Structure 1
Amino acid sequence: MKNIQNRILLNIDDDGIAWVTLNRPEKLNALDMEMFKALDKTIKLIKSNHDVRCVVVKGEGPDFCTGLDVGSIIKKPMSGIRLLFKWLPGNSNLAQRVSTKWRGLAVPVIMAISGRCWGGGLQIALGGDFRIAEHTASFSIMENHWGLIPDMGGNKALSYLLPMDQAMKLAMTAEEFDASKAKELGIITDVTNDLNQSCRDFANRLMNRSPDAISAIKRLYTTKWHRSERAMLASESLLQVRVLTKRNQRIAVARAKGKAIPFQNSKIR
């Protein structure tokens, strides 16, 4: 297990699941500058590790993440500048990378949400491919509570998940809502009474499929979902050809026929 800047615990188990734990429970896993940098580094470490088949992100203690540690950022004005700085307007800055860069991984990312998932915490969760929450979890696009707008990269994910009026309502009111409402809106994938077991079971289901097909599906959907029909059709065909040239496709056929053959470590990037 790696302890990254005393903020993130990273454990890659024997099954290839990377367990990422926000480890600041005494501050309700609120985001300070060290947490931002640790998350950014963690994503890079996972991306470079070819043994990882799935990622689960969770919070230590009762809460996933209660958002920005405003006090710690205000005390160090340069921290705010470092968070928001970017070379090009369309690039992700540090504050945005902790949400957007999960989508760039070639493996599924599951956000395991317990307790409060507010503000920046929800922005991080929106960067995952799936969000599984405990029944007792609560959510809020809380930035406007402080007179701010949500600016950590989760808005793009919201545009896939919600009608615009519903997203604006949540962002404008900064209202708190429970897991059942989040499921009804489509913000979360599933609700459970046993968070760790549900996430492990789902990760195992995903890892029982070809890693090439899994990574290709993720790439297709995250890059072409809101593009034109022509862009989607072209990408479907190109990615399918790439999948068919990999040995994992033939292994998948053999496994479907009952043969116990392990998949190779391979991904479509």
Structure 2
Amino acid sequence: MELQPNERVSIELGEDRVAQVRMIRADKMNALDPEMFARLIEAGQALHEMKGLRAVVLSGEGRSFCAGLDLSSLGKGESSETGDLTDRTHGNANRAQQVAMQWRKLPVPVVAAVHGVCFGGGFQIASGADIRVIAPDARLAIMELKWGLVPDMGGFALWRGTARDDVLRELIYTNREFNGVEAGEFGFATHVEENPIERATAIAEEIADRNPHAIRGAKRLANAMFDEDTDHLLMEESREQHAIIRTPNQMESVMSHMEKRKANYRDV
């Protein structure tokens, strides 16, 4: 099933319940102008409400994943944000932060497939994914200090637990460019692959073949790890397991393995 493209983002949900989400502003290397911000948020809302969704692959068409902020839109007096940036327009986030944070907020895992250029806001969008597959020759940078700004699309929240603290600080302070191999060494890349979309899709398909209720519960727990204390996390584990154990999908996981067949899960 393919949803109608919105001129910036396309969504295609396959029979495997994996959604291929692509930024399709290829002529501008998927750079972020106000329209791209709006359409990415629109796509995130559509995914959040999508029935039967089990995993997402996020990528960019053309030569790059996302080149970051479209500087030409600044020259026209346009901005990705209007008003007070401290206004929380999307739960705990403002509009620009939601563009990156929404991938972490989705109830299902998101796998980013990164190739070409991935700078600034584009890098923060990729950081919102649960898993990142990055091409070895990809060009990445936390670019904001080049323009006298700080990263402000959720990066500081999303980078917790990825790169070593001093490495992350150097990359932020200097806006030094690095490649996909280095991204793997630093901790940003889950996998470094010549064909990131192929590997990302394989991972998403494997996730989609698991109990969808358990996958969503595991993502909720993973998201809570850096924010909650031990006592709260232990209780949340117990609550999630109590809600899943002996349900039809959990029993189907057991039976399909015992009978050596593909599981037939009930969609969330």
TM-score by length of 2: 0.93
CA distance in 1, matches of 2:84, 2:36: 11
CA distance in 1, matches of 2:90, 2:55: 31
When the two chains are superposed, the root-mean-square deviation of aligned CA atoms in Å is 1.9
CA distance in 1, matches of 2:84, 2:61: 24
Q: What code does the residue aligned with 1:44 have?
A: Q
Whether 2:264 is the aligned partner of 1:262: answer yes
Task: Tell me what 1:84 maps to.
Answer: 85
Residues 180-230 of structure 1: CA deviation (Å, up to 9, x unaligned): 111011111001122222122111111121111111111001023342111
Q: Alignment partner of 2:156: what SS? A: helix
CA distance in 2, matches of 1:72, 1:263: 46
CA distance in 2, matches of 1:204, 1:265: 15
Q: What code does the residue aligned with 2:35 have?
A: E
Note closer, same or farther for the CA distance 1:87–1:117 as it changes in structure 2 (3 Å cut): closer
C-alpha deviation, 1:27, in angstroms: 0.8
Q: What code does the residue aligned with 1:262 have?
A: N
Whether 2:134 is the aligned partner of 1:129: answer no
In 2, are the aligned partners of 1:73 and 1:80 still within 8 Å (CA)? Answer: no
Task: Tell me what 1:244 maps to.
Answer: 245
Q: What code does the residue aligned with 1:5 have?
A: N
What are the residue-to-residue correspondences of 1:55-70 with 2, within 5 Å?
Answer: 55-70=56-71
Instruction: Name whichever structure is richer in helix by fraction.
Output: 1
Task: Could you tell me which runs of 5 or more consecutive residues in structure 2 were left unpaired when the two chains were aligned.
Answer: none
Note closer, same or farther for the CA distance 1:203–1:83 as it changes in structure 2 (3 Å cut): farther
C-alpha deviation, 1:254, in angstroms: 0.6
Note closer, same or farther for the CA distance 1:212–1:69 as it changes in structure 2 (3 Å cut): same
Residues 157-197 of structure 1: CA deviation (Å, up to 9, x unaligned): 21221232221111000000011111011111001122222
CA distance in 1, matches of 2:135, 2:79: 36
Task: Tell me what 1:47 maps to.
Answer: 48
Task: Could you tell me which runs of 5 or more consecutive residues in structure 1 were left unpaired when the two chains were aligned.
Answer: none
Task: Tell me what 1:106 maps to.
Answer: 107
Task: Tell me what 1:95 maps to.
Answer: 96
In 1, are the aligned partners of 2:73 and 2:79 still within 8 Å (CA)? Answer: no
Q: What code does the residue aligned with 2:28 have?
A: K
> How many pairs were matched up?
266
Bigger mean CA deviation after superposition, 27-36 or 8-17: 8-17
Bigger mean CA deviation after superposition, 67-76 or 35-44: 67-76
Note closer, same or farther for the CA distance 1:2–1:50 as it changes in structure 2 (3 Å cut): closer
